[in-house]
Amino acid sequence: MLFSPTDFSECLREWDDLEKGYQQIQDTHRLYKQKLEEVAKLQDSCSGAIARQRKRLKELTASLEQCKNNHPTPKLSPDDVDAIAEIEDSIRDRANAFTEMEAFLPKKNGLYLTLVLGNVNVTLLNKQSKALDALFNFLLVWYYCTLTIRESILITNGSRIKGWWVFHHYVSTFLSGVMLTWPEGALYQMFRSQFLTYCLYQSFVQFLQYYYQSGCLYRLRALGERHNMDLTVEGFQSWMWRGLTFLLPFLFFGHFWQLYNGITLFKMFQLPECKEWQVVMCGCSYMVLFMGNFFTTLGVVYQKYINNQDKSKTL
Annotate 120-175 with DSSP letters as a single string: -------HHIIIIIHHHHHHHHHHHHHHHHHHHHHHHTT----HHHHHHHHHHHHH
Whether residue 95 sits in one domain with residue 63: yes
Cβ-proximal residues to 307 (8 Å cutoff; 6+ apart), any chain: 235, 236
Q: What share of the chain is helix, strand, coil (3-state, %, to 5)?
A: 80, 0, 20
170 and 296 part of one domain: yes
Q: Which of 27-31, 119-123, 222-226 has the lowest mean pLDDT?
A: 222-226
Residues 205 and 167 placed together within one structural domain of the fold: yes
Arithmetic mean of pLDDT over the chain: 77
Determine the average pLDDT of the residues in 75-94. 79
For residue range 46-80, list pLDDT tens digits in order.
Answer: 888 988 998 888 888 888 888 777 765 556 677 77
Looking at the fold, whether 62 and 144 belong to one and the same domain comes out as no
Distance CA(246)–CA(302), nearest Å, equals: 16
Q: Is 147 in the same domain as 258?
A: yes
Q: Do the Cβ atoms of 214 and 287 come closer than 8 Å?
A: no
Count up the domains in the chain and report the number: 2
pLDDT of residue 71: 63
Instruction: Say yes or no: 243 and 103 in one domain.
Output: no
Q: Give the range of the structural domain holding residue 211, as residue numbers without chain letter.
A: 130-308
Q: Are residues 268 and 141 in the same domain?
A: yes
Residue 171 CB contacts under 8 Å (≥ 6 apart), including other chains? 285, 288, 289, 292
When comparing pLDDT for 104 and 43, which is higher? 43
The mean pLDDT of 305-314, rounded to a whole number, is 65
- Position 266 scores a pLDDT of 93
Q: With a cut of 70, say whether residue 160 has pLDDT above it.
A: no
Residues 148 and 278 grouped into a single domain? yes
Q: In terms of domains, do 233 and 160 share one?
A: yes
230: left (phi over 0), alpha (psi -120 to 50) or beta: beta
Neighbours of 89 (CB within 10 A): 10
Q: What is the pLDDT of residue 139?
A: 80
Judge whether 299 lies within some domain. Answer: yes
- 230 and 90 fall within a common domain: no
Same domain, 97 and 163: no
314 located within any domain: no
Q: Given pLDDT bands bounded at 50, 70 and 90, which one contains residue 281?
A: very high
From 238-252, 267-281, 298-312, the region with the lowest mean pLDDT: 238-252
Q: Do 188 and 253 fall within a single domain?
A: yes
Please indicate, yes or no, if residue 115 is contained in any of the structural domains.
Answer: no
Mean pLDDT of 263-278: 88
Q: Following DSSP, what letter does each residue of 232-245 receive, concatenated?
A: S--S--GGGHHHHH
Could you give the count of Cα atoms lying within 13 Å of 86 in the half-sphere of its Cβ? 6
Local structure of 192: helix, strand or coil = helix
- Per-residue pLDDT band for 260 (boundaries 50, 70, 90) equals very high
Average confidence (pLDDT) over 213-242? 53
pLDDT attached to residue 127: 55
Residues 6+ apart with CB under 8 A from 109: 117, 119, 120, 121, 122
In a domain, 89, yes or no: yes
